[in-house]
Structure 1
Amino acid sequence: MAKPLCTLALAGVVLLGSGCSSKITQPEEYSGFLGDYSKLEETMSASGEPVLRWTAPDFDPKRYGTLLVEKPVFHPTQAPSDQMSQQTMDQIAAYMRMSLQRELIGKARLVGTPEADTLIVRPSISAVAISNEHLKVYEVIPIALLAAATTTAAGARDQEVAIYAEVEAVDAASGKPVVRTVRKGKGLSLENRKTPLVLDDLKPVLDDWARDARNFRP
């Protein structure tokens, strides 16, 4: 009996997923929003989280007296679903912009249209992904795995929420990008696949990203 149960356990691990997913966006997950990803390098954000970033060699934040934060777009377009409504998607984009403006207001004067000394921040949301929570160590044993497989099949398993973003900062005078950043964050877990996603589930990660933008050093 031990052998079939071990085989079942191994199959379950493959089917349901185990271990931690990467905190760095993978090349196959790039959205195309930035156009050029060839110069991105893995580095750390101000808060110590891994990110992919490129900064122009001559970029100097002190050159910019004004700042324009554009409204984030979903790129590519993400269709609403039973678990994430269009209203929630609009709220996520609006809050992302508001949190960036809130944290960056002390860095430069915020403007609604570009001026000669404006740095334009162009944020995008590549995806909001909801998936089954990974198996925990204590679940990767034959008997517990049977229960885990049952709850997954029934849609009762916790759902992990991940948000992917790509942001470009552009010199308004030249129209050239000076900073490009790609990052991935984890939202709050949902109880099951029938639990709707709401803005509060992503507020913590969006707030962290905005603080990283405020504390960014070239």
Structure 2
Amino acid sequence: MTMRSMSGVLAFAALMALGGCSSTMVEPEHYSGFLPDYQRLKEEESASGAKVARWVDPSLNLSRYNSVYIEPSQFYPRPQPTDQISQNTLKDIAQYYDTALKRELGKVIRVVNSPAADSLVIRPAITAVSSSTEGLKPYEVIPIALVVAATTTAVGARDQEVQIATEAMFLDGGNSKLLAEVVRKGTGTALENKETALTVQNIKPVVDGWAQDLRLAYERLKPRQ
């Protein structure tokens, strides 16, 4: 494999490295169990400077894939909606994740409705993150974890920080061989207080950043015509 190809492979595996200005690493104790093998994940720095946990098959050659199939994103584990995070919001978040990935990847590779032998298959999940602030108990493990931020408002109420995490695997469309894995998280737009309902707008900047970074990383390996 040439140096150019190797750098492209590593850039592609970096993936989802924008969105959110706090930690982008998911602690191993908060891995969801969605990926088949966490042991080979290593902390790396992505092309845009964010820390991610990832693994890439050293023999990966993206030039053999002429299309990409993006499986519908799923929640793992399955969440229980709350007053603050409704079932409709969870549905909207999953649909927006799909939309963002297809929008960005569609700019650089053909997105197909079913996998073929020449397809790269992306299997994304929105996964559970459990976080806590000193003196406070963690919220229940749900795909969107809300933690009380350190900053207080003028009326004394604390902002609610919104964190969303993803785990994704990349497969060969012909033989289902696992090609890469990645785990990361991001911080969305804070909620005013614990009574404020979450909407998809709170997490759009994070998801947009993940999708844009995936496209940019893919472009680095795209063969020049």
Normalised-by-shorter TM-score class: 0.7 to 0.9
Say which structure is richer in helix.
1
Change (3 A) 1:46 1:98: farther
SS in 2 for 1:36: coil
Q: Which amino acid aligns with 1:123?
A: P
In 1, the alpha carbon distance for the partners of 2:48 and 2:41 equals 19
> Superposed, which structure 2 residues align to 1:27-176 within 5 Å?
27-126=28-127, 127-135=143-151, 151=156, 156-176=157-177
Which ranges of 4 or more aligned residues in structure 1 deviate by more than 4 Å? Answer: none
Q: CA deviation at 1:21?
A: 6.8
CA shift, 1:135, in A, is 4.9
Helix, strand or coil for the counterpart of 2:209?
A: helix
Aligned-residue CA RMSD (Å): 2.0
Partner of 1:134: helix, strand, or coil? strand
Q: TM-score, normalised by structure 1?
A: 0.79
* DSSP 3-state at the match of 2:108: coil
1:72-119: CA deviation from partner (whole Å, max 9, x where unpaired): 100000111000111111110011011011111133211111111011
> Matched residues in 2 for 1:21 and 1:105: separation?
29
Give the Cα separation in 2 of the matches to 1:23 and 1:102. Answer: 23
1:174 is displaced (CA, Å) by 1.7
State which structure, 1 or 2, has the greater radius of gyration over its C-alpha atoms.
1
What residue in structure 2 maps to residue 139 of structure 1? none
Number of residues of Structure 1 aligned to a counterpart in Structure 2: 184
Q: Is the 8 A contact 1:120 1:169 kept in 2?
A: yes
Unaligned segments of structure 2, at least 5 residues: 1-20, 128-142
Write the deviation string for residues 35-69 of structure 1: whole angstroms up to 9, x where unpaired. Answer: 21111111123322111111110112211001101
Note if contact 2:53-2:182 (Cα within 8 Å) is conserved in structure 1: yes
The one-character-per-residue Cα deviations of 1:138-167 (angstroms, maximum 9, x if unpaired) are xxxxxxxxx99x94xxxx310000001001
Secondary structure of the residue aligned to 2:146 is strand
Q: Partners of 1:206 and 1:21 in 2: how far apart?
A: 15
- Aligned residue for 2:38, secondary structure, equals coil
- Tell me, in whole angstroms, the C-alpha distance in 2 between the residues paired with 1:47 and 1:32: 27
If the length of structure 2 is used for normalisation, what is the TM-score?
Answer: 0.77
